Amino acid sequence: MNKMKKVIDFYNETTAEEKCYLLMLMSKDIMIPIRKEDGIHCLGLDEDAPVCLNGTAFQINTEELYENVRDSKLYKKLKDESDKNKR
């Protein structure tokens, strides 16, 4: 019971931004099952923006959400420039 109290205290004492940050830290361990025509697909979260605040709600972004954006030439150019700046 003591461990669950810590979780409840954390939930009650943190801001939405802090909870969002925790979800981002956990994003590699989260998957979302999606039903498609050929069965169930388990999607990971988006690498660049796995979770964000959308008003008062937490928006969970799957790896497929921005696929068409990542395929664009502009995205690839901006990503390359960003990677160069990180070095």
The answer to whether 47 and 63 are in contact (CB under 8 A) is yes
pLDDT at 17: 96
User: Which candidate, 30, 58, 13, 25, places its Cα nearest to that of 5?
Assistant: 13
Task: Specify the pTM.
Answer: 0.72
pLDDT at 3: 82
Q: For residue 50, what is the DSSP state?
A: S
Q: Which residue stretches of the chain have pLDDT < 50?
A: none
Enumerate the domain spans of the chain.
16-86
pLDDT at 67: 76
Grouping H, G, I as helix, E, B as strand and the rest as coil, residue 77 is helix
Pairing of strands 39-44, 51-54: unpaired
